[in-house]
Amino acid sequence: MIIPMLFSVVYLLACFWVAAKAKHRKVGSQRAFHIAVLLTPLVALIVVLSSAKKLETHLQFFRCKRCGYEYSEKHASCPACAKEGLKIYVNESIKPEVVLR
Ligand SMILES: [Zn+2]
Protein backbone atom coordinates (compact mmCIF):
# COMPACT_ATOMS: atom_id res chain seq x y z
CA MET A 1 0.00 0.00 0.00
CA ILE A 2 2.81 2.44 0.82
CA ILE A 3 4.75 1.72 -2.39
CA PRO A 4 2.03 2.90 -4.88
CA MET A 5 1.43 6.02 -2.76
CA LEU A 6 5.15 6.80 -2.71
CA PHE A 7 5.32 6.21 -6.45
CA SER A 8 2.43 8.65 -7.08
CA VAL A 9 4.09 11.32 -4.95
CA VAL A 10 7.42 10.91 -6.75
CA TYR A 11 5.62 10.88 -10.11
CA LEU A 12 3.77 14.12 -9.32
CA LEU A 13 6.94 15.77 -8.02
CA ALA A 14 8.66 14.84 -11.28
CA CYS A 15 5.72 16.39 -13.19
CA PHE A 16 6.06 19.64 -11.23
CA TRP A 17 9.82 19.63 -11.76
CA VAL A 18 9.39 19.28 -15.54
CA ALA A 19 6.75 22.04 -15.50
CA ALA A 20 9.16 24.33 -13.64
CA LYS A 21 11.86 23.54 -16.23
CA ALA A 22 9.45 24.65 -19.00
CA LYS A 23 8.92 28.12 -17.52
CA HIS A 24 11.33 29.83 -19.91
CA ARG A 25 10.53 27.61 -22.88
CA LYS A 26 7.95 28.15 -25.59
CA VAL A 27 6.04 25.02 -24.59
CA GLY A 28 5.08 26.65 -21.26
CA SER A 29 4.72 25.23 -17.74
CA GLN A 30 1.05 24.30 -17.96
CA ARG A 31 1.32 22.36 -21.21
CA ALA A 32 4.49 20.64 -20.00
CA PHE A 33 2.71 19.62 -16.79
CA HIS A 34 -0.18 18.10 -18.73
CA ILE A 35 2.20 16.21 -21.00
CA ALA A 36 4.09 14.98 -17.91
CA VAL A 37 0.94 13.70 -16.19
CA LEU A 38 -0.48 12.02 -19.30
CA LEU A 39 2.67 10.78 -21.06
CA THR A 40 5.18 10.42 -18.17
CA PRO A 41 7.63 13.14 -17.04
CA LEU A 42 10.39 11.64 -19.22
CA VAL A 43 8.45 12.33 -22.43
CA ALA A 44 7.61 15.82 -21.14
CA LEU A 45 11.27 16.47 -20.35
CA ILE A 46 12.22 15.57 -23.94
CA VAL A 47 9.48 17.91 -25.24
CA VAL A 48 10.68 20.72 -22.92
CA LEU A 49 14.34 20.32 -23.86
CA SER A 50 13.53 20.30 -27.59
CA SER A 51 11.31 23.38 -27.23
CA ALA A 52 12.90 26.72 -28.10
CA LYS A 53 13.71 29.23 -25.39
CA LYS A 54 11.41 32.21 -25.00
CA LEU A 55 12.76 35.58 -25.98
CA GLU A 56 12.52 37.59 -22.81
CA THR A 57 13.78 40.94 -21.73
CA HIS A 58 14.11 41.65 -18.05
CA LEU A 59 13.55 45.25 -17.07
CA GLN A 60 14.09 46.79 -13.71
CA PHE A 61 12.56 50.13 -12.82
CA PHE A 62 13.82 52.67 -10.33
CA ARG A 63 11.93 55.61 -8.90
CA CYS A 64 13.18 58.74 -7.20
CA LYS A 65 11.64 59.21 -3.77
CA ARG A 66 11.62 62.99 -4.12
CA CYS A 67 10.25 63.76 -7.61
CA GLY A 68 8.76 60.39 -8.57
CA TYR A 69 10.73 60.22 -11.80
CA GLU A 70 11.06 56.62 -13.04
CA TYR A 71 13.79 55.11 -15.14
CA SER A 72 14.90 51.69 -16.28
CA GLU A 73 18.60 52.33 -15.72
CA LYS A 74 20.25 52.54 -12.35
CA HIS A 75 21.72 55.96 -11.65
CA ALA A 76 23.96 56.99 -8.80
CA SER A 77 21.66 59.96 -8.20
CA CYS A 78 18.38 61.13 -9.70
CA PRO A 79 19.04 62.94 -13.05
CA ALA A 80 15.85 65.01 -12.77
CA CYS A 81 16.75 66.26 -9.30
CA ALA A 82 20.34 66.86 -10.43
CA LYS A 83 19.03 69.51 -12.85
CA GLU A 84 17.64 71.37 -9.85
CA GLY A 85 20.99 71.09 -8.14
CA LEU A 86 19.90 68.41 -5.67
CA LYS A 87 21.68 65.13 -5.20
CA ILE A 88 19.11 62.44 -4.40
CA TYR A 89 20.44 58.91 -4.20
CA VAL A 90 18.27 56.26 -5.77
CA ASN A 91 19.17 52.68 -5.20
CA GLU A 92 15.91 50.84 -4.66
CA SER A 93 13.84 49.32 -7.42
CA ILE A 94 10.09 49.95 -7.34
CA LYS A 95 9.04 46.71 -8.98
CA PRO A 96 11.11 43.59 -8.52
CA GLU A 97 11.13 42.75 -12.22
CA VAL A 98 9.10 43.17 -15.37
CA VAL A 99 9.39 40.50 -18.04
CA LEU A 100 8.58 41.43 -21.64
CA ARG A 101 7.55 38.56 -23.88
ZN1 LIG B 1 14.32 62.95 -8.37
Per residue of the chain (101 residues), give pLDDT as tens.
788 899 999 999 999 999 999 988 989 899 999 999 999 999 999 999 998 888 877 777 888 888 888 877 777 788 888 888 877 666 566 555 566 66
Q: How far is the CA of 21 from the centre of ligand 1 (A)?
A: 40
User: What is the structure's pLDDT at 24?
Assistant: 87
The whole model's pTM is what? 0.57
Q: How many angstroms does the Cα of residue 83 sit away from the middle of ligand 1?
A: 9
CA of 69 relative to ligand 1 center, distance in Å: 6
Question: Residues 18, 32: contact at Cβ < 8 Å?
Answer: yes
Distance in Å, CA 66 to ligand 1 centroid: 5
**Widest Cα–Cα separation across the chain:** 75
- pLDDT in the model for residue 42: 93
- pLDDT at position 96, please? 56
Helix, strand, or coil (residue 83): helix
